[in-house]
Amino acid sequence: MKTLMIGIISTMSLFLSVNAKSNDMEENGLNQKEKSLVSISSFTAQGKIEELKSALNEGLDAGLTLNEINEELVQLYAYCGFPKSLNGIGAFMETVKERKKKGITDEQGKEIVMNDDVKDKYEQGREVLEELTKMPQSKPAPGFGEFSPRIDAFLKEHLFADIFASDVLTYRQRELITIATLASTPGAESQLGSHIFMGMNVGVTEKQLNDLFSIIENTVGKNEAENGRNMLKGIKARRGN
């Protein structure tokens, strides 16, 4: 009888544990690695180097790999420019050097591999953008793509092919990075709205976006965070969820 009771209790404990983990997955916001990706992006976009170094240390301590952070900082040049991206990489180099002096060895992570065998880079980027937007993408892009074909080509062939096609970071992680960068950048409201929409398409939840804007409130300011939250409300209403 005692053995039977122990078995029943063990089974119930396992059942409750599985359910608890399932509920946590549904209810939880950003994990510590994701919070670090957001902070790193925000500080890089603003050029706040000392704050960035702290965020880089926190990210590495949370388990982000060297290649994941390198890939993040490379992606950021497309959204906040080469100078800030290069300054961010410089700060990262210093941070890693200082950690090595302290005897800290960080994981290199998944190798960054470029796929240069694609016959049509534009088509590759166009397909990635279709997956992010869940909408057909015409060639060229209406409006700006017709007016400036070169920027349309750079957008498809480089940003969404060369950069987004690398699987060191997932689309979901890349959208968190992009949203954080745009939320930290004055005058990027239109792009921010587009990427909030894309982020939700690839699995970023409302709770996680609100967590992101709470971080933005600390790294940038209340107005920028409220702007993001208001955009999220509008996008939710248009999506009907």
Euclidean distance between CA atoms 102 and 94, whole angstroms:
13
**59-90 pLDDT, tens per residue?**
999 999 999 999 999 999 999 999 999 999 99
Min mean pLDDT across 10-14, 142-146, 200-204, 233-237 is at: 10-14
CA nearest to 181, candidates 43, 58, 64: 43
Euclidean distance between CA atoms 224 and 87, whole angstroms:
23
- Can you read off the two tokens belonging to residue 226? 């409220």
Is residue 81 in some structural domain? no
Is residue 157 in some structural domain? yes
Q: Other CB atoms closer than 10 Å to residue 240's CB: what's the count? A: 5
Place 239 in a pLDDT band, splitting at 50, 70 and 90. confident
Min mean pLDDT across 12-16, 87-91, 136-140, 190-194 is at: 12-16
Cβ atoms of 38 and 180 within 8 Å: the answer is yes
Average pLDDT of the chain?
Answer: 90
Quote the strand ranges of 79-219, DSSP E. none
**148-191 pLDDT, tens per residue?**
999 999 999 999 999 998 899 999 999 999 999 999 999 999 99
Is residue 144 in some structural domain? yes
Is residue 90 in some structural domain? no
Instruction: Kindly give, in sequence order, each residue whose CB lies less than 8 Å from that of residue 227, ignoring residues fewer than 6 positions away.
Output: 183, 189, 192
Is residue 133 in some structural domain? yes
Q: Give ∠ CA 181-183-185 in degrees, rounded to 5.
A: 70
Euclidean distance between CA atoms 85 and 52, whole angstroms:
12
Q: Domain range holding 123?
A: 116-165
Q: Which residue reads 């390198």 in tokens?
A: 70
Total domain count, the chain: 1
Is residue 136 in some structural domain? yes
pTM value > 0.85: yes
Is residue 16 in some structural domain? no
Is residue 160 in some structural domain? yes
pLDDT score of 241: 67
pLDDT score of 184: 98
DSSP symbols for 188-227: -HHHHHHHHHHHHHTT--HHHHHHHHHHHHHHT-HHHHHH
